Amino acid sequence: MTALDALRRRPRPGRALRRAGLTLGLAGAALVANGLVASAAPDQTSGREITRYDVTAVLSADGVAQVSIDFDFDFGDDPGHGPYLTLPTRQGYDETHDREFRYSGLSSSSSTGAPAQLNQEDDGDALILRIGDPDVDDVSGVQTYQLTYTVDGLVNPANEQHSGDELYWNVIGTGWEIPLGDLSATVTGPADVEGAVCFAGPEGSADPCTSADAQGATATFTQDLLDRGEPFTTVTGWPAGTFPGVEPIVVERPDPAAAWAPASPLGGVALLLAAGGAWLAIRRVRRTGRDRAYLGLTPGLRPVSGQEVGSGYRDKRTPVAVQFTPPANVRPGELGTLVDEKADPVDVTATLIDLAVRGYLRIEEVPRANPKKKPKDWTLVALREPDAALLEYEALLMDEIFTGRPTVKLSDLKTTFASSMSKVQDRLYDQVTRVGWFRANPKSVRGSWLATGIALIVVAGITLVLAIALSESGVPGLLNGVGLIPIALGIVGVVVLVCASHAPARTEEGTAVLAESLGFRTYLTTAEADQIRFEEGEDVFSRYLPYAIVFGVAERWARVFAQLAAQGRAVAQPGWYVGYYDPLPGVFWASGFAASMDRFQSVATESLTAPTPGSSGDSGFSGGFSGGGVGGGGGGGW
């Protein structure tokens, strides 16, 4: 899909609402677009406001933008030093990384003679730029200011969401505390523009701005008025490769716990606190976080009625026997949560495929113009309403996916399903706890330990600040070594955090089911084509596929059946999956299904857990909205 094709697509409001929380930005970046005058005369308040805001951004082939801003600041009935703007330096990318924007060459001036000294602050996530003289606070009337700077990291290269390179840019972010009027933005790149759209209004709005136009290498956008906190977002598209080699600048997110890394204590009290606290934490997790097991029975077996057996800690070294079937009445999602004590996204994906195998939905490939290319999207078709045969988390998954509609594309769930995913995962934790496999909800147990560890580290930080303040009070000898106490407390907090992952514990019943599960995993990971056990009329591949997905061996499981089909064995073709290829009779597995299913699993897991896309380079043409791009920031007067 080209950027021009994408222009014809109607934005998806559901996707826009998911993106609405990420509206950091460039606080109105760019230069004067002379001659672009809004049709409405901005006069929105008797107080401070911006009555004209012209932005120009010139991008070079390396993705660096030369940005200039020329604006009129009306002090109204509230004189002051001057205006201020914020330029975001970081924006969320994923759970552990941020997208970074790098600024240089910042300068300011005033063509009307107002004080225009540039006062910079860095709060870690944004640059705060205050224009004016700190000693002059009676500037009044309408003053004109100019701000120029260079920024790197704004361009989104072509990817699966957009076929061309893009600048999806919040020219005005949600952080403005005053209204703005008569806005224009001009974006010029190193090649002819393929498309230009813009959005304005309340955060998350898909309403277009006043105008958007593209001529040659330049795109021009205008907006008459913006109320306080309303973003103005522009999207400019170029052919793929316009900015060769340019990628978002992705950096590790600062870890607040890193400042409290363990250190060797020098004071006796600190040593005792660190060693004693760590010992107590480890002792407790060993007593409450170890699995229980039936003693004297083969792993996987349970005592029969009336049989008395002992109970003790599970010996992880005890071998388990191969199991040719999954544990009775244990669904793939339950099994995945039991094995690693976590309801992972892949457990939900496996549940989705299991529901298809059981006849609740059908998975259909969306045809591509070139049938030889791999599928990129799938349609989920509801075949049955959730009924009493479904477990609570399975029924919730069906409800959250379809929400009253009979069909939905997998791509439509991307960036809108994250909250639903969390609900389904919580129900999975409830399910494995309710059936008695864990002594307590694994998520809650980990959460309690994590909360305790974080609390200890926070208290350590506060105590260290107090200790430093006391040590600087000048009392000789009285406070020697007091700074080591909070360090020791922080060490204990770190130990508690490490113990958190080992805190959940399985019951005797949970350990028995675990042994069966591990035995079945051995079968899936070692069985060859001539060892597959068939039952009359049963689609063994489909039945066990969700379990193979949970164990991460789906590709191998499919390959085994491809070998069977190649040998001429009768392998049932699943009716729950529709692929747009033409398999020859009897060689279904060898003709494309295995690869398609593996790709569906990967894309489904990614789609159901996708982060808000504005920060990670998604397209503003398909599903764009006000405040959904990079940059944004805010501003006002000081």
- Counting residues of the chain whose pLDDT is more than 70, the rounded percentage is 81
Q: Is the pLDDT of residue 621 over 60?
A: yes
Measure the CA dihedral 15/16/18/24, to 10°: 140
Per-residue pLDDT, averaged over 225-245, amounts to 92
**pLDDT tens sequence across 383-424:** 999 999 999 999 999 998 888 889 998 888 876 777 788 899
The per-residue pLDDT for 593 is 67
Specify the 3-state DSSP secondary structure of 154: coil
The per-residue pLDDT for 519 is 92
Measure the CA dihedral 461/462/465/469, to 10°: -160
pTM of the full structure: 0.53
The per-residue pLDDT for 97 is 84
Say if strands 180-188 and 126-131 run parallel, antiparallel, or are unpaired.
Answer: unpaired
Say if strands 232-238 and 195-200 run parallel, antiparallel, or are unpaired.
Answer: antiparallel
The per-residue pLDDT for 406 is 92
Per-residue pLDDT, averaged over 468-490, amounts to 62
Specify the higher pLDDT residue, 369 or 611.
369
**pLDDT tens sequence across 264-311:** 344 566 678 778 888 888 888 888 888 888 888 888 888 887 788 888
Say if strands 49-59 and 65-74 run parallel, antiparallel, or are unpaired.
Answer: antiparallel
The per-residue pLDDT for 138 is 95
> Residues 572, 535: contact at Cβ < 8 Å?
no
**pLDDT tens sequence across 454-478:** 999 898 888 877 766 665 544 444 4
The DSSP symbol for 375 reads P
The per-residue pLDDT for 533 is 67
Q: What CA–CA distance (Å, rounded) separates 614 from 552?
A: 30
Residues 6+ apart with CB under 8 A from 521: 339, 551, 553
Other CB atoms within a 10 A radius of the CB of residue 584 amount to: 9
Name the pLDDT band for 23 (thresholds 50, 70, 90): very low
Q: Copy the structure tokens of residue 145.
A: 């200011």
**pLDDT tens sequence across 340-385:** 999 988 899 899 999 999 999 999 988 877 777 778 888 999 999 9
3-state secondary structure 354-374: HHHHCCCEEEEECCCCCCCCC
Rank 131-145, 147-161, 315-329 by mean pLDDT and report only the highest: 131-145
Strand partners, 50: 73, 180
Name the pLDDT band for 488 (thresholds 50, 70, 90): confident
Could you give the domains of the chain?
3-254 (2.60.40), 258-276+443-500 (no CATH)
Q: What CA–CA distance (Å, rounded) separates 58 from 42?
A: 27
Task: Write down the residue that tokens 């390396």 correspond to.
Answer: 62
Q: What CA–CA distance (Å, rounded) separates 48 from 132?
A: 15
Q: What CA–CA distance (Å, rounded) separates 221 from 168?
A: 13
Length of the chain: 638
Per-residue pLDDT, averaged over 76-103, amounts to 90
Specify the 3-state DSSP secondary structure of 438: strand
